[in-house]
Structure 1
Amino acid sequence: MKQGASRQAKLAKAGSLSKTKKSIALYGLVSLVIVGLVSANYSGIIGQTSSSQVIEANAQAIHDQAVKQDQVTAVDSLASVTSATNIAESVQLPIVGDLREESSSIRIKNELAQNEKSNVITKPKTIQAKSDKRSITTYTTKEGDNVASVAAQHKITPETVKWANKLTTDTVEKGKKLTILPVDGVLYEVKDGDKIDDLINKYKADKERVVLFNDLETKQISKGMQLVLPGGVLPEEERPGYVAPPSNTRGGRNQGSAAGGSTTAGTVGADSSYNKATASAGNKYAAGNCTWWVYEKRLAAGKPIGSFWGNAYSWDDSARAAGNRVDHNPEVGSILQTDAGGGGYGHVAYVTGVNADGSVDISEMNYKGYNVVSTRHIPASSVGSFHFIH
């Protein structure tokens, strides 16, 4: 009897030990899985143990190390910690609360990172943003710099550089301080009475981009404030060096010359060789207009152009389509062209001289009045605002 009881007790004890060993093994296996998943994302060293107290201590050490290093966590980090959390919940490990908090923190960080690249530590309440790239900077030109090279260096267009610095040519002298915008667009100083919607429409910018770029969500624009209008376009009449022709280039009244301009010749009358009846066979433009005159001048110079290039504002596009070179470099015999002025029709003129100082002399019709031929001197500072068709 005693031997049987002793044998039964031994078997019971062995069974109890076996269950304990199985529990320890299962608990240890789960702990190892969690250690493997979490350590893939954090640099802490976790010992393999089945003790829940040691696991909690190690989990806290991992968390503290991640906070200290401001570690950026990727999408796979969220998957790893989520898996660890699920396993911990299934076996009711004491560290499940910490893992849930860590999982939530990573999820919030990833959602923020989709909108803006940021260094975000594991706790979502503290975000360390990278340096602000929306600041206007100043660049001092070096030997050999020009507008194109400065623009390329700062990854913006030459037009943005010229508009922000009121440059009329592509050359810049050494030592000149240039205002550099962080993006392509327009730099605008707010004046009395300005409204943001009016500026958006005038400069063809996107309102949402302007508001976000200038932090206007919580403040109003005020006089003297400098706004960067990303993607904005400076109107022709506001560009550096712009010389506006009289508004009435289709009308019949003498409007007077622009500053710096001089006028010669007189009205071309009905008996003149310039009237439509004696025009060249290919000249389909309306007699008395600037387009009619330039067609005749080019034909006489042996450089004929198309008969159907439209109004003056479309001549640069028509010329390109016809294979003519169009740029901002005047040459004798080239055509000066602008989209602005002319009552909305633009204006063209014939280049008769390019001077050593960069100024240009032109011959034109309908600048001084309908059917009136005149000449003008364009200063070098204004030449860059025109197109020249070759």
Structure 2
Amino acid sequence: MKKLAFAVTAASGAAAFIANHEADASTQHTVKSGESLWTISQQYGVSVDEIKQSNDINNNMVFPGQVIEIGGSNSSQGHSASSNNASGGSTHTVQAGESLNIIANQYGVSAEEIMSANNLNGYLIHPNQTLTIPGATGTGGSGGTATETPQTNTGNSSASDANLYDWGQCTWHVFNRRAETGQPISTYWWNADHWANNAASDGYTVNNAPTAGSIMQNYEGPVGHVAYVERVNPDGSILISEMNYNTPPGTVDYRTIPASQASSYNYIH
């Protein structure tokens, strides 16, 4: 019996050593729809705080398609992300505040080329996400040769660089988000409940078919509401970003509209 107990103890020690060794290694996990930091932490046997620290996440929000590191260290992950490139392009780790258009200008490529290279079906990217930059020619500061993201429709009125909508409101956010993705709009469409008519008057297409980059508009509340369509999912549901709906003014929130409801809203293209 003593020999058996020793064998079991030795085997357990070996298993623990292997487990600890594997825990030191880094694993990439692509967030799936419905997952949270807690469910991911349970899947890999780590804590939520460990995942947040490894990925510089300062809240509990993760998004479908976001790539996060499980275990390992930020420094080793950063070096591998920037050096592992076998096909002539380069990689870029998204920083807070960056958009596809900003990154495209930095490397002298178009936002659509980045989207294609990374199989993105919308403009939504996240801090710490690693993007493949195809055929990058920029050096990080020069964007003079970049191809700007083509605009869906600039309408008959000239788009403005100045955001004159009230700070932190849904209209303020959508104006900024369209500018970030190279699709500027007018700053004179007034309250959200007037956007569909004013956009149509300016020559924009307004219908009930959402596309990535379009503006969702409805007549909820006293002055209506607008949001930016980040992605159209394969099942017909849409992911939108918005302000001042379920969050205070100035705070960006993300919400998924079911496919059964998506066609009930107006979309400005």
Check whether TM > 0.5.
no
Between Structure 1 and Structure 2, whose CA radius of gyration is higher? 1
**Scaled by the length of structure 2, what TM-score is found?**
0.40
TM-score norm. by structure 1 comes to 0.28
Q: Looking at both structures, which has the greater relative contact order when contacts are Cα pairs under 8 Å and sequence separation is at least 6?
A: 2
